[in-house]
């Protein structure tokens, strides 16, 4: 029996099921509107986890009618060569979205490379133009993991307006954009990080706790209030498989809703990449008509 199976099923937010709904809706849209979205993925080097992630994205895409092309660059690729590859994809009118799979080999600067991606093809929402738009509340591409978390909360019937939300972790990929999105949905947001004093004093007051740290047992049962919603973004690889940041079986006893790892936030991240790709395609098609 897995940890997830030990918990009252009504408490579990099933990311696979919600992502499945989103993907089904997208497949329908692609078919009905005769869309032909095309996603380009750039994979630099031989990181095994990155290869798995790109394969998963390719598989989901093909299941719903999104074409993908993977551009593989070797471990020794220079920053200039990477920029040239991105530039070529920016100019390629057949490509709607560009995904630069992270992490890059250590000699490459990811922020410089991401800043080269054309904002209209930046389906990961990490380019500083899209980041700036998000922070100003303007329409643009939003990073897939925080976007997926908001979608998961909404589709699980969780009220964001007026909720006290605590986000643990302040990366540009997850924590910061998520804090901004929760605030835009009228939650009151506290953003915690490694220098936060007495993390539990904040998490104990929260109606919604999101942990995006990458350290198992960052959130334990004594840190959450009865009835809180707990979203676990963390992924740590252990000999026994993937684990999140949350002490799942103990926290689940107090939480009203909780996401498992795996099968919580992860599938939503991929579903939102697909949604952003379809949006990029529709917007570009409108421009050229």
The verdict on 233 binding ligand NAP (CB under 6 A) reads yes
Alpha helices (H) along 107-158: 110-116, 128-136, 144-155
21 is catalytic: no
Parallel, antiparallel or unpaired: strands 236-238 and 241-243: antiparallel
Q: Label the pairing between strands 188-192 and 164-168.
A: parallel
Q: Which stretch binds ligand NAP (CB under 6 A): 75-83, 119-127, 156-164, 233-241?
A: 233-241
Which residue out of 57, 121, 176, 257 is catalytically annotated? 57
101 annotated active-site: yes
Among the options 122, 124, 207, 245, which is catalytic?
124
Judged by CB under 6 A, which of 169, 177, 260, 263 binds ligand NAP? 169
Among 12, 114, 149, 192, binds ligand NAP (CB under 6 A): 192
CA distance 259 to 152: 10
Binding-site member from 99, 173, 206, 271 for ligand NAP (CB under 6 A): 173
Task: Using CB under 6 A, pick the residue from 90, 159, 171, 279 that binds ligand NAP.
Answer: 171
In the bound state with ligand NAP, the residue whose beta carbon lies nearer, of 110 and 285, is 110
Q: Does 168 bind ligand NAP (CB under 6 A)?
A: yes
Please classify residue 156 by burial: count the beta carbons closer than 10 Å to its beta carbon, then call 0-12 exposed, 13-18 middle and 19+ buried: middle
- Per-residue interface string for the shown chain with ligand NAP, residues 42-61, x marking contact by CB under 6 A: --------------------
Shortest separation between residue 49's beta carbon and ligand NAP, angstroms: 9
Position 145 contacts ligand NAP (CB under 6 A): yes
- Cα separations (Å) of 214 from 82, 155, 219, 243? 28, 25, 11, 9
Of residues 53 and 85, the one with the C-beta less far from ligand NAP: 53
Site for ligand NAP in 202-231 (CB under 6 A): 212-215, 218
Q: What is the DSSP letter of 120?
A: G
Q: Are 30 and 281 in contact (CB under 8 A)?
A: no
Active site residue 232: no
Chain position carrying tokens 């684990």? 243
- Retrieve residue 274's tokens: 């697909």
Helix (H) or strand (E) holding 267: helix 265-288
User: How many residues bind to ligand NAP according to rule CB under 6 A?
Assistant: 25
Separation CA 264–CA 79 (nearest Å): 35
Give the CB-nearest residue to ligand NAP: 214
Quote the least distance from Cβ 119 to ligand NAP, whole Å: 21
Taking only Cα atoms into account, the Rg of the chain, rounded to an integer number of angstroms, comes to 19
The CB-based long-range contact list for 153-158 (8 Å cut-off, 24+ gap) reads 153/208, 153/229, 153/231, 155/18, 155/21, 156/13, 156/18, 156/257, 158/208, 158/229, 158/257
| Residues within window 246-275 making contact with ligand NAP, judged by CB under 6 A | 265-266, 269
Report if residue 234 touches ligand NAP, rule: CB under 6 A.
Answer: yes
Which residue lies nearer to ligand NAP by CB, 30 or 219?
219
At 186, list the tokens.
């009228």
What residues make contact with ligand NAP under the rule CB under 6 A?
A: 145, 168-171, 173-175, 192-196, 199, 212-215, 218, 233-235, 265-266, 269
Q: Which residues are catalytic?
A: 57, 101, 124
């Amino acid at each position: 029996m897995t940890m997830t199976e030990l918990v009252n099923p009504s408490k579990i937010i099933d990311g696979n099921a919600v992502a499945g709904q989103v993907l089904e809706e997208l497949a329908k849209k692609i078919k009905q509107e005769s869309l032909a979205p095309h996603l380009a993925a750039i994979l630099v080097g031989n990181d095994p986890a990155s290869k798995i992630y790109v394969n998963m994205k390719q598989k989901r895409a093909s299941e719903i009618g999104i074409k993908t092309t993977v551009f593989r660059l070797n471990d020794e690729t220079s920053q200039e060569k990477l920029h040239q590859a991105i530039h070529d994809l920016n100019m390629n009118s057949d490509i709607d979205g560009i995904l630069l799979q992270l992490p890059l080999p250590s000699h490459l600067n990811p922020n410089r490379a991401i800043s080269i991606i054309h904002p209209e093809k930046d389906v990961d929402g990490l380019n500083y133009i899209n980041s700036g738009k998000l922070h100003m509340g303007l329409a643009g591409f939003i990073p897939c993991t925080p976007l997926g978390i908001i979608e998961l909360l909404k589709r699980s019937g969780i009220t964001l307006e007026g909720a006290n939300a605590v986000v643990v972790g302040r990366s540009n990929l997850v924590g910061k954009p998520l804090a901004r999105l929760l605030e835009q949905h009228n939650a009151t947001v506290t953003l915690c990080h490694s220098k936060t004093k007495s993390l539990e004093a904040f998490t104990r007051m929260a109606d919604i706790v999101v942990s995006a740290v990458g350290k198992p047992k960052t959130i334990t049962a004594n840190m959450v209030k009865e009835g809180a919603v707990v979203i676990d973004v963390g992924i740590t690889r252990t000999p026994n498989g993937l684990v999140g940041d949350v002490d799942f079986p103990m926290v689940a006893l107090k939480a009203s809703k909780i996401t498992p790892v795996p099968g919580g936030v992860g599938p939503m991240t991929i579903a939102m990449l697909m949604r952003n790709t379809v949006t990029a395609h529709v917007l570009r098609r409108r421009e050229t008509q």
